[in-house]
A and B are shown apart, each in its own frame.
Chain A
Amino acid sequence: MIYDIEYETMPREALEAIQFRRLKATIDRCYASVPFYRKNFEAAGITPGAIQSLQDLPKLPFTTKQDLRDNYPFGMFAVPMENVVRIHASSGTTGQPTVVGYTARDVDTWAGLMARSLMAGGATRGDIIHNAYGYGLFTGGLGAHYGAEKLGASVIPVSGGNTKRQVVIMKDFGPTILTATPSYALHLAEVADEMGVSFRDLKFKYGIFGAEPWSESMREEIEEKLGLVAVDIYGLSEVIGPGVAMECHEAKKGLHIFEDHFIPEIINPETGEVLPYGETGELVFTSITKEAFPVIRYRTRDITSLNPEPCICGRTMARMNKVSGRSDDMLIIRGVNVFPSQIESVLMEMKNVEPHYQLVVDREGQLDILTVMVEVSESMFSDEVKTLQGMEKEITKNIKDYLGVSAKVKLVEPKVIARSQGKAVRVIDNRKI
Chain B
Amino acid sequence: MKAEQISVFLENKAGRLCEVTQVLAEAQVNIRALALADTSDFGVLRLIVDDTEKAKDTLKKAGFTVGKTNVLAVEVPDRPGGLYDILNLLQSSGINVEYMYAFVQQSGSNAVMIFRFDNTDDALKVIQANGLRVIDGKTLYGM
Q: Check: A411 CB closer than 8 A to any chain B CB.
A: yes
Q: Is the CB of B63 within 8 A of A383?
A: no
Q: Is the CB of A382 within 8 A of B67?
A: yes
Q: Is the CB of B37 within 8 A of A413?
A: no
Q: Among A22-30, A166-174, A294-302, A384-392, which stretch is in contact with chain B?
A: A384-392
For the complex of A and B, 4 pairs with smallest distance between CB atoms: A383-B7, A383-B69, A385-B37, A381-B65
Q: Check: A416 CB closer than 8 A to any chain B CB.
A: yes
Give the chain A neighbours of B99 by CB distance below 8 A. Answer: 384
Q: Is the CB of A378 within 8 A of B39?
A: no
- The total of chain B residues at the interface (CB under 8 A) is 22
User: Distance in Å from the Cβ of B5 to the closest Cβ of chain A?
Assistant: 7
Residue of B nearest to A413 (CB): B11
- A364-406 interface mask toward B, CB cutoff 8 Å, 1 = contact, 0 = none? 0000000000001110011111001100000000000000000
- B79-106 interface mask toward A, CB cutoff 8 Å, 1 = contact, 0 = none? 0000000000000000000110000000
User: Distance in Å from the Cβ of B103 to the closest Cβ of chain A?
Assistant: 17
Given contacts A376-B65, A378-B66, A384-B98, contact A411 B5 (CB under 8 A): no
14 intermolecular pairs with C-beta atoms under 8 Å apart: A376-B42, A378-B65, A381-B65, A383-B5, A383-B69, A383-B116, A384-B44, A384-B98, A385-B44, A388-B42, A412-B42, A413-B9, A414-B63, A414-B65
User: Distance in Å from the Cβ of A385 to the closest Cβ of chain B?
Assistant: 5
Q: Is the CB of B39 within 8 A of A389?
A: yes
User: Distance in Å from the Cβ of A210 to the closest Cβ of chain B?
Assistant: 29
Give the chain B neighbours of A383 by CB distance below 8 A. Answer: 5, 7, 44, 46, 67, 69, 116
Q: Is the CB of A411 within 8 A of B42?
A: yes
Q: Is the CB of B9 within 8 A of A376?
A: yes
User: Distance in Å from the Cβ of B28 to the closest Cβ of chain A?
Assistant: 22
User: Distance in Å from the Cβ of A375 to the closest Cβ of chain B?
Assistant: 8
Residue of A nearest to B46 (CB): A383
Q: Is the CB of A412 within 8 A of B46?
A: no
User: Distance in Å from the Cβ of A406 to the closest Cβ of chain B?
Assistant: 17
Residues of B that sit less than 8 Å from A by CB: 5, 7, 9-11, 37-39, 41-42, 44, 46, 61, 63-67, 69, 98-99, 116
Q: Is the CB of B65 within 8 A of A377?
A: yes
Within 8 A of B (CB), among A227-266: none
Q: Check: A415 CB closer than 8 A to any chain B CB.
A: yes
Supplied contacts A388-B9, A413-B63, 11 more A-B pairs, CB within 8 Å: A194-B61, A378-B67, A382-B67, A383-B46, A411-B9, A412-B11, A413-B9, A413-B10, A413-B11, A414-B63, A415-B63
**Interchain CA distance A376-B41 in the complex, whole Å:** 13
Given contacts A381-B9, A383-B5, A413-B9, contact A388 B63 (CB under 8 A): no
**Interchain CA distance A389-B9 in the complex, whole Å:** 12
Q: Is the CB of A411 within 8 A of B66?
A: no
**Interchain CA distance A364-B105 in the complex, whole Å:** 50
Q: Check: A150 CB closer than 8 A to any chain B CB.
A: no
Among B46, B67, B99: residue with most chain A CB under 10 A: B67
Give the chain A neighbours of B63 by CB distance below 8 A. Answer: 413-415
User: Distance in Å from the Cβ of A397 to the closest Cβ of chain B?
Assistant: 17
Within 8 A of B (CB), among A334-383: 376-378, 381-383
**Interchain CA distance A383-B11 in the complex, whole Å:** 14
Give the chain A neighbours of B41 by CB distance below 8 A. Answer: 410-411
Give the chain A neighbours of B39 by CB distance below 8 A. Answer: 385, 389
**Interchain CA distance A346-B39 in the complex, whole Å:** 24
Q: Select one of B5, B44, B61, B116 contacting A388, CB under 8 A.
A: B44
**Interchain CA distance A116-B63 in the complex, whole Å:** 41
User: Distance in Å from the Cβ of B72 to the closest Cβ of chain A?
Assistant: 14
Within 8 A of B (CB), among A408-433: 410-416
User: Distance in Å from the Cβ of B34 to the closest Cβ of chain A?
Assistant: 12
Give the chain A neighbours of B7 by CB distance below 8 A. Answer: 381-383
**Interchain CA distance A2-B129 in the complex, whole Å:** 73
